[in-house]
Homo-oligomer: A and B are copies of this chain.
């Protein structure tokens, strides 16, 4: 259906893929419903090319991988999406033209189409699952972008913030401990050392910035304000 091609175009756009080839579509082209679902990826539909069969659509490519969910009767190499993306990326770096072949919604790819491809890709899913075309394109596009993505697994998103200096943290430790001492928080006295070490570890683990350490000190000042007021 046209909708599926629209969703596929939108999925491609999200991951920087631009060149779409349609092989023997069973709907009219250009297609209004594809346009509707493509939202923002209309340029991909406009430059898409039409081909009568897989041999024609794939003619110019050096490496072609085919997505398939089902087992096949012929022994073929089957790749995970991540491994497929790595191979496509590597081939593209060497100047080769690369493509991923997706099957239609119902029938998938037939054995003749698969026989034109270098290897198969199977997306790992739970049992009784079914991915539609847009979903399959999205996952392969995602792995394609990921294969060249250098984002570290974990990072702290911040503009100017830096982890607090020891001086700022020690200032906070001593301020807090002094006020807690004054409030007779450390009881029994013999346990004070362990309690202080626990508190300090807790604060260190929270990874405060200088600004945040000062904010916590402001909170302490605010919390003890009434006590001093009461005394005057």
Which A positions have Cβ atoms within 8 angstroms of B?
Answer: 11, 13-16, 40, 71-80, 82-83, 86, 119-120, 122-131, 135, 138-139, 142, 145-146, 149, 151-159, 161, 209
Contacts and interface: CB of A to CB of B under 8 A. Distances in A.
Contact of A154 (B79, B151, B152, B157): B79
A124 B146 CA distance: 7
Contacts of A76: 156-157
Contact of A135 (B78, B138, B158, B161): B138
B15 A125 contact: yes
Given A14-B131, A138-B139, A209-B75, A125 B154 contact: no
Given A13-B128, A124-B145, A125-B145, 19 more contacts: A14-B126, A14-B129, A14-B135, A15-B126, A71-B157, A75-B156, A75-B157, A75-B158, A76-B157, A77-B154, A77-B156, A80-B151, A80-B154, A119-B154, A120-B157, A124-B146, A124-B151, A138-B138, A139-B139
Residue of A122, A127, A130, A153 most packed against chain B (CB within 10 A): A153
A11 B145 CA distance: 20
A177 to B, nearest CB: 26
Contact of A129 (B13, B80, B129): B13
B15 A154 contact: no
A153 B82 contact: yes
Nearest to A132: B10
A75 to B, nearest CB: 3
Nearest to A39: B130
Closest 5 A/B residue pairs (Cβ): A75-B158, A16-B126, A83-B153, A14-B129, A78-B157
Nearest to A146: B124
Residue of A149, A157, A159 most packed against chain B (CB within 10 A): A157
A102 to B, nearest CB: 15
A99 to B, nearest CB: 18
Contacts of A157: 71-72, 75-78, 120
Contacts of A73: 159
A158 to B, nearest CB: 3
